[in-house]
Amino acid sequence: MNSIHNIGPAQSLPSAPSIPGSAGNAAGGASFKDFLVDSIQQVNSMQVQADKQVESLFSGGDVNPAEVLTAVQKADLAFKMMMQVRNKLVQVYQEVRDVRI
């Protein structure tokens, strides 16, 4: 388990990449929660689209099998990445929860 290290005044954190629409960019920007919800909705829509393409392929529809495979792989990769983000958020929550003041 990684521990959280204290950062003294002489040390600095690397700057985080800017996320479009994040709360730190401008007043009234989207919150982190909104960013996560939007990402989950995008992953869900990719999975729904891949399911529709697979269904169309199996029912004899006019779809390119390579495009179906690509859509399924994209949806799978997006889901796996979303699960890794979820796992990391749970890990961070557990570390913060376990910190004793």
Pick from 31, 89, 16, 35: nearest CA to 97: 89
Each residue's pLDDT, cut to its tens digit, for the chain (101 residues) gives 444 444 444 444 344 445 454 444 555 678 989 999 999 999 999 999 999 999 999 999 999 999 999 999 999 999 999 999 999 999 999 999 998 66
Pick from 39, 46, 45: nearest CA to 20: 39
pLDDT for 29: 73
**pTM to 2 decimals?**
0.65
Alpha helices in 1-101 (DSSP H): 32-58, 65-98
